[in-house]
Structure 1
Amino acid sequence: MKWSLKLGSVAGIKILVHWTFVLLLAWIVFSEMRQGSDLQTTLLSVGFVLTIFACVVLHELGHSLTAQRYGVQTKMITLLPIGGVASLERIPENPKQELLIALAGPAVNVVIAFILWLALPSLSGVPTEEFFTRITPANFLYLLMFVNIMLVLFNAIPAFPMDGGRVLRALLSFKLGRVRATQIAANLGQMLAIFFVFMGFFGNPFLILIGVFVFFGAYSENMIVQHLDFLRGHSVREGMMTNYVTLSPTETVRDALDKLLLGSEHDFVVEQDGQVVGTLTRMQLIQAIKNEQMQAPVANIMTQEIRTFNVQDKLSEAYSELQKARASIYPVLENGRLAGVINSDNINEFILIKSALAH
């Protein structure tokens, strides 16, 4: 994720913290200062939040390491002010595998809370309200146990993209299939999201943020699964464009700009004698203009490290790749030679046509 700092890696999984996380820590420091807290209390509050997010990292590692058992890799875990995000390359369509991956994260929090419960002495009497609002060395670990229990309960909400939504989808998939199960889980998630937003206007405004996050997360998950279902059984050959404009590596930036203005292409494949040597985007051309490189050959500014597809590859795999990759266009090869190009717009048109034909 852009503007993130790498903290380290575990089992090949990068642990990143987004720059906005600093805003959370700054807000905590500001809140403590406004209450007149001394330096020790302020540092304790910051330390408590950092400890919570250490538990969040362990939660996400639970998902990621379980996914690795099923051949699903995780590129990174990113810490945001609202929690952690594990970037799994895909969600398994096997309901048993998805169920175990979804349960693995909350299971880590259950283990943490259980260990703390065993290690800490029992509380005498009912805790006061101040016990939960002021962090002290005496209640630090008790509150950490409580937070881990809350993380389990929060993630149990049956709404995408929370773990509870994936658990519900996996359980429904055993009987109803993945597409129908996703529709039910997504609809339930969106209803809960609307409820969160409604309650947020009368109580905690943070519920509004959670509601929006859940609503669009559920909508996105439902759309992706439906799209993949439409693409199932189709090859890249069926979804690629065969009418396209290419550039040669010796053409200049000015030549490329002329082709950009004359046609509808925003991005180009650079090829020589049928062999793909790179790609060139509109933004690269604009940058070349700013750098006064009008007469430079496109070979000097093109992207040379590119991913290609074969005409026989699954169209669903190309769709998934385009959803998570930064590249806007991919060359399609047949017997090692350029046969077409594919991008998100063309696949979306393919899905639209297939959806219309299905009705």
Structure 2
Amino acid sequence: MKLSELNDRSQFIFRHIVESYLDTGDPVGSRTLSKADGISVSPATVRNVMADLEEVGLLMSPHTSAGRIPTESGLRLFVDGLMQVGGLTEEERESIKGQCNATGQSFDATLSDATKALAGLSNCASMVMAPKEDDLLIRHIEFVPLGSGQALVVLVGEDGSVENRIINLPLGLPAPALVQAGNYMSARLAGKTLDQAKRQINQELIQRQQEIDTLTATVIEKGLAVLSENTSGEPMLIVSGTSHLLKDDESIENMDRLKLLFDELENKKELVNLLSAAQTGAGTRIFIGSESNLFSLSGSSLVISPYMNGANKIVGVVGVIGPTRLNYARIIPMVDYTAKVITKML
């Protein structure tokens, strides 16, 4: 369900139900809603809207209650489109910084203190994944479009571990290219780390470029093409002697081979860009209820954010685990700020 598919009245009622549920944990009834500021409709009208929202899977009625609470899908829509993320108070910032920046202790102790600060401020359980070398041997890699020029990278390791990273996509990258990239990497790069995969593709790029240079020189010498530049300054081969191609099987084969090489070169450049992005993919990530199988927690939510080292490489994750009825607007900036403080330390 997209937010744009809800009219203003439905959005208003839906937001009130979710905010009230997150605040109190109780189902919200139509009579209560009809008395809320900004709503000038009857309880019957509110009930009709609530029924429509329940029909599309955004609300549910617990037990025999006449009130409604949001479903996991409803919470996801609220978090992604309607929630206004708050900011941290100066006192909260200083509390996190103070515990993370304690002098005379090991980095592990600092991470432990950071999780204690998060747990105390959020009233939830906190978690941290300590730094490790980026030595994950890839069994499978998949790119899932998220919209707005971003994608989720799903890395499945040979040891069965799974890592999710958010990346910004290269401008103009078509959606089918993500599927092709995932298929290619899973088939050809299994058993390698991201660094090893990049090195292999870069080596293939060098080899293909050498083939292109040799073939380009041949067709130019024969007067079949000229080398120019496009508007972006990229080299571009302009075929000029097309009439000669019909009389020369070798020339036709060379031009076909050149076209394939240029296409392959472009595709492999995209693969390198995607792999580079996957290595530094960042962003606070929210998993609501069954969206995550982490720890096999039922009815729980997870808010996590990666922290990086001086080379801008992800080395760990810090986050908060709690019920789906989290105060997301408060906890998201809290987790994000903690990750930034740890990143600055590193």
Q: Report the TM range for the smaller structure's normalisation.
A: under 0.3
Bigger relative contact order (CA 8 A; separation at least 6) = 2
TM-score of the superposed pair, with normalisation by structure 2: 0.23
TM-score norm. by structure 1 comes to 0.22
Name the one with the larger strand percent: 2
Q: Which is richer in helix?
A: 1
